[in-house]
Amino acid sequence: MDMKTWPRKIFALMVTVVFAMPLYLAVVNVFKNLEQILNHPIALPNPVTLANLDKVVSRPDHLLWEGLLNSLMVTSVAVVILIFFSSIIGYYIARSNSRLMQILLLLFIAGMLIPPQVTLIPVTRLLKFLGLMGTYPGLILYFTGGGLMSFAVFVFTGFVRTIPRELDEAAIIDGAGKFTLFWRIIFPLMRPATATVAIYLSLWTWNEFLLPLIILGPSQGVTITTGIYTAIGTYSTDYGQMFALMFLSALPMLALFFALQKEFISGLTAGAFKG
């Protein structure tokens, strides 16, 4: 080991351990009984038990399945809508040289700086006025605006600027209209940016807790995050079921990331944040 670099390597290892420890605890405690979790939370499971997973999967209230289906529905619809509109807006801004479009891009960037909690009260009042409070369409509508749209537009705008304008000109000469030009030629080239946006927005929407809790309310339905909150007992907590719920709720997003990881990395390094 190089004497000049070993302090940095040791520091990096310590930071890795700090960040990996919560993940380690969340995984190993899935396969322990309650006594092992309370007395030996860091130790490996001995013996390994699947009782926690069985309890969660076979709950009579179907909390896991209802939460997964609702989260999958809300996340899928919101992400598709966001990608559809933000890709079009990003393409239009990137191909426009007007000062107005540059100002619009700055407004979208500014939107990423506003926490969603700041706009929660006025938006919930608006949803109540529209009759969407306590509904899944109201929750999806909230997700499709704000910082998520701003981030998606920012990524798509930067990526489109790396695509040569000659493609647009050649397509127009061949008789392609604006709609055909974008969806048949430009949008397929935006796969890395689309994967980046899809993963980021899916993770954000899937893991969101406060918005579903307030907009849906305790009696209107649950997403997977509010379902985990619902499973916490008032006077006692089954930690085995809690760890099992968290473990199973993370699997869909892990599968999405591994399916799109090559495009995701390409999107981050091939112009997603290029001015």
Co-location of 128 and 11 in the same domain: no
Residue 122 predicted with pLDDT over 60 = yes
Q: What CATH number has the domain bearing residue 159?
A: 1.10.3720.10
Looking at the structure of the chain, the number of domains it has is 2
H-type alpha helices, 96-190: 99-111, 120-130, 136-143, 147-160, 165-173, 178-180, 187-189
Q: Which of 41, 39, 22, 20 is nearest to 31 (CA)?
A: 41
The pTM of this model reads 0.84
Co-location of 29 and 59 in the same domain: no
Out of 9, 24, 49, a domain closes at 49
pLDDT in tens, 19-56: 888 888 888 999 998 888 888 888 888 888 898 899 88
Co-location of 238 and 158 in the same domain: yes
Co-location of 161 and 212 in the same domain: yes
Residue 234 predicted with pLDDT over 70 = no
Tell me what the pLDDT averaged over the chain comes to: 84
On whether the CB atoms of residues 46 and 33 are closer than 8 A, the answer is no
Q: Which residue has the higher pLDDT, 140 or 232?
A: 140
Using alpha carbons, list the distances in angstroms from residue 62 to 46, 68, 207, 245. 29, 10, 19, 12
Co-location of 20 and 64 in the same domain: no
* pLDDT score recorded for residue 270: 54
Residue 211 predicted with pLDDT over 50 = yes
Co-location of 32 and 134 in the same domain: no
* pLDDT score recorded for residue 237: 72
* Interatomic CA distance for residues 30 and 68, integer angstroms: 18
Domain of 44 in residue numbering reads as 1-49
Whether 275 is in a domain gets the answer: no
pLDDT in tens, 48-96: 889 889 988 988 888 889 889 999 999 999 999 999 999 999 999 988 8
Co-location of 12 and 119 in the same domain: no
pLDDT in tens, 134-166: 889 999 998 987 678 888 998 899 888 888 888
On whether the CB atoms of residues 26 and 246 are closer than 8 A, the answer is yes
